[in-house]
Chains A and B, each alone.
Chain A
Amino acid sequence: MPDEFKFRTEDFRPEEIENQYVSGVQEKEIVALLKAPSPVILEGSRGTGKSFLIRVAELQLWNSFASDKVLPVYLSFLRSSLIHTKDPDQFHHWMLAKLCVATLKSLRKSGVAIPSAYPFNILAGGEVPQSPDSLTRLESLVSEYELSYQDPEKAIERGNVPDVQSYKDAVEEICTTYGIQRVAVFFDEAIHIFRPEQQRQFFTLFRDLRSPYVNCNAAVYPGVTSFGPVFELTHDATRHRIVRDVSTSDYIEQMREIALKQADESLKENIERNRENFSVLAYSASGNPRILLKTLAQAGRLRSSDVSEAIKGFYRTGIWTEHTALATSYIGQRVFIDWGREFLEKTVLPETKSKNDRRIKEGMKETTCTFWIHRDAPEAAKHGLRLLEYTGIVLKGDDGIRGTRSELGTRYTLNLGCLLSLEPSPASTGLEIAKSLSIKRFTEFGANNSAYPSQKDRDVVLTEAESLTVLKAQLAKSISELDLTHFQFTSLIQAGYTSIGLVLKAREWELIQRLDYVGEKRARRIKNAANSAVLEYLSG
């Protein structure tokens, strides 16, 4: 077993990405789409490999830059949930500022722009052409915007932030000057799933950026649905979902290749020796590489008992812990998160399992891991299912599928691991169920199923304001929630810093001045404690 599997794209060195890349048919197609001039929205649950494929596309564009002259610009909006403001333009400008900084960085890396400051000016005797001040100004604006959530009332001077057209004009000028074909922008972690207002603004920007010299691509989670008034999914981008279908002939082989890339010699041996057991793990992961690696790490030597225990442990508990943890971060979503879990665990999974048990007992070869929801099911239920998609527990299939009595509805696929984890010994019965799956069989839930959320729960409507309230609630909490020593805690209380928000707003020098025996180090620790308390709740 390797010391540690790398579960996230960020765990790899940039130069390792290429070696880890398993280029199946779908992966090749996605990378080609990302590199092509038309805009792409890449959709996938956590851990399906969105960031990884974006990095591969970026790397390939760098490798071919000399001949193709397509400049990749990568940026992540991971921290966008920190932007809270009543000023509707602020998030828009924050995005633009980040985009300008990232573009500048890529231009520098391409070698077409050269740094003018120290130490480059030393050998040249100070005669390096100066870069335009506006770009430096933009860099500082980014942090000003990032700071702004603390005080949404504060007006921010943004006269110097160019609008979309100015950005496009600048890129066009740079492209024609330096013979660059176009700039390919990759928005990773493009938008926060629980910030519909930001989603709308992002997609508006995405559309407005389109020009012969700029093409945008974005990675999003499945629950992202607020495209705003201007963006039209069919016209303004190609949506591509990362789905590794367990029924395709090369599915197991591809998942094995992903595992082998990170396996040491003994794990490779165990995978070879226990091919069927590995296949059960691979089917259970339902096409999600991160989940495969997580369960593989828990499956010891891959004997049947190891695999069964790993599947039960992860899919009965681990995956749900991750899902339920969302409710801690996003209080307003709790009702939908809890409902989704209840619906799956108490209704969908047991019904599906008993259906499969019956069929197998009767010698029928078709099993199911699919269910169907009537198109008139309450919005609250659909929202709950969207959150399950985000964690990868269900996968939304096609809309407009006919159920019994020709009613229309949507087909969802269950994460196979969740279903197999209900088996007494998943390693021995899992393969039969997985190999006999048929999408023609599904459990139906009509428009008024009693398992749907109650009326009271349906009335919960999340608004942008409420999402700000979530943050405010966190800021208002007592500092007793923070990881502080008794001394730090009492000193802060005595000086009047009673809430997390007050500590967060205080500058370090204020703490040093106002608290006895607190110097730079202690002030830092106190600030760190406050920072991590808020980020924990926001970065989800």
Chain B
Amino acid sequence: MSNATAEYYLKLNSNSRTSIVESTAAPERFGQAQASIEELVAWTKLRVFGPENVAMSSALNEAVTGLYLVAGGAYRPALTALRLFLELSLASIFFSANRLELAEWVAGNKDIFWSQLVDYDNGVLSTRYTKAFFPELSIEIGSFNAKARETYRGLSEYVHGNKATLATTEESLRYSADLMTMWFDHFHSATETVLIALSVRFLKELDDDSISTIAAATRDRIGYIAPIREYIEQNRGR
């Protein structure tokens, strides 16, 4: 007795498998993204990272899920996962200075609002936050905040589907070089934003050994921001 339901989903699965093979024929993009995720994981293992890690763990899981979906040609879900990654990772940083909100979030009594995370006055990329944790960046932080908002807005367009962002043909599980490039561009911006936010919040609280752990990767990626590069170079262990 045939089971059409099973056949249908196995067909989708087979389409995804074909897409995975095509997407990873040149695996460098995935390799670089995987390396970026590992770099963020290294931050979460540092001693300064406390209970807020619960949100960061979910965030990193979403990043890997996003990679899996993008390999399989499921671009819209992959973009949704990426937006959740961005939201949850900034939330974890927000929680590190707002334990009450963390407890309420864990208990399910409070939601995360993106607008709160990137609020110009009190968010994790605000002047107030930066003045408290990494004052040398308090003037530049506005441009990083704007970049984070832009990335989020770009992702939201796909998540809400409120714009003709994807053609019907692009909704099928099929490899598309253009959509894959678009996803990795968003991934690049999102991970860079998270790395900047992590540096602003935690860099000055790290001991020498911790700085050594994250130094090379952080410097390679956001070393163009002179105050961050210089702080790492002066303090990365003896």
Using a CB–CB cutoff of 8 Å, the interface residues on chain A facing chain B are 10-14, 16, 62, 65-66, 78-79, 82, 101, 105, 108-115, 117-120, 122-123, 143, 146-147, 149-150, 504, 508, 520, 524, 527-528, 531-532, 535, 539
Contacts and interface: CB of A to CB of B under 8 A. Distances in A.
A11 B60 contact: no
A446 to B, nearest CB: 45
Given A10-B229, A109-B32, A119 B61 contact: yes
Given A147-B237, A532-B234, A117 B28 contact: no
A535 B41 contact: no
Given A10-B224, A109-B31, A109-B35, A119 B57 contact: yes
B159 interface: no
Given A10-B229, A147-B237, A115 B38 contact: yes
28 contacts: A10-B223, A16-B224, A65-B28, A78-B233, A82-B238, A101-B216, A108-B34, A108-B35, A108-B38, A109-B28, A109-B35, A110-B31, A111-B28, A111-B30, A111-B31, A111-B32, A115-B34, A115-B35, A119-B57, A119-B60, A119-B63, A143-B209, A143-B237, A146-B237, A524-B204, A528-B234, A531-B238, A532-B235
B128 interface: no
B7 interface: no
Contacts of A117: 38, 41
Contacts of B31: 108-113
Contact residues of B: prevailing secondary structure: helix
Interface of B: 24-32, 34-35, 37-38, 41, 57, 60-61, 63-65, 68, 204-205, 207-209, 212, 216, 219-221, 223-224, 226, 229, 233-238
Given A62-B28, A109-B28, A143-B209, A123 B64 contact: yes
Contact of B234 (A11, A504, A535): A535
Given A65-B28, A119-B63, A146 B235 contact: no
Contacts of B226: 11
Given A108-B31, A108-B38, A119-B37, A66 B26 contact: yes
B234 A531 contact: yes
A14 B221 CA distance: 7
Given A504-B238, A532-B234, A535-B234, A105 B223 contact: no
Contacts of A114: 34
B224 A12 contact: yes
A531 B208 contact: yes
Nearest to A536: B234
Nearest to B185: A15
A65 B27 CA distance: 10
Contacts of B37: 115, 119-120
Q: Which 3 A-B pairs have the closest CB atoms?
A: A111-B27, A111-B31, A66-B26
Contacts of A147: 237-238
A123 B68 contact: yes
B207 A13 contact: no
A115 B37 CA distance: 10
A254 B61 CA distance: 48
A524 B41 contact: no
Contacts of A528: 234-235
Contacts of A13: 224
Contacts of B64: 119-120, 122-123
B206 to A, nearest CB: 9
Contacts of B208: 527, 531
A143 to B, nearest CB: 5
Contacts of B237: 143, 146-147
A123 B68 CA distance: 9
Contacts of B32: 109, 111
A66 to B, nearest CB: 4
B179 to A, nearest CB: 19
Contacts of B224: 10-13, 16
B41 A119 contact: yes
Nearest to A79: B236
Given A119-B63, A147-B237, A531-B238, 13 more contacts: A11-B224, A11-B226, A14-B221, A16-B224, A82-B238, A105-B35, A111-B30, A112-B27, A112-B31, A118-B57, A119-B57, A146-B212, A527-B208
A13 B143 CA distance: 15
A254 to B, nearest CB: 24
A146 B238 contact: yes
A82 B207 CA distance: 19
Nearest to B64: A119
Nearest to B229: A10
Contacts of B29: 111
A101 B61 CA distance: 25
Contact of A111 (B24, B68, B223, B235): B24
In the complex, which of the residues A111, A119, A123 has the most CB atoms of chain B within 10 Å of its own CB atom?
A119
Contacts of B223: 10
Nearest to B56: A119
A118 B27 contact: no
Contacts of B63: 119
Nearest to A507: B207
A120 B229 contact: no
Nearest to B231: A528
Nearest to A102: B216
A508 B235 CA distance: 13
A150 B237 CA distance: 11
A125 to B, nearest CB: 13
A501 B230 CA distance: 22
A144 to B, nearest CB: 10
B207 A524 contact: yes
A82 B204 CA distance: 23
Given A115-B38, A119-B60, A531 B28 contact: no
A304 to B, nearest CB: 33
A54 to B, nearest CB: 13
Nearest to B209: A143
Contacts of B212: 143, 146
A174 to B, nearest CB: 14
Contacts of A78: 233
Contact of B27 (A101, A110, A115, A508): A110
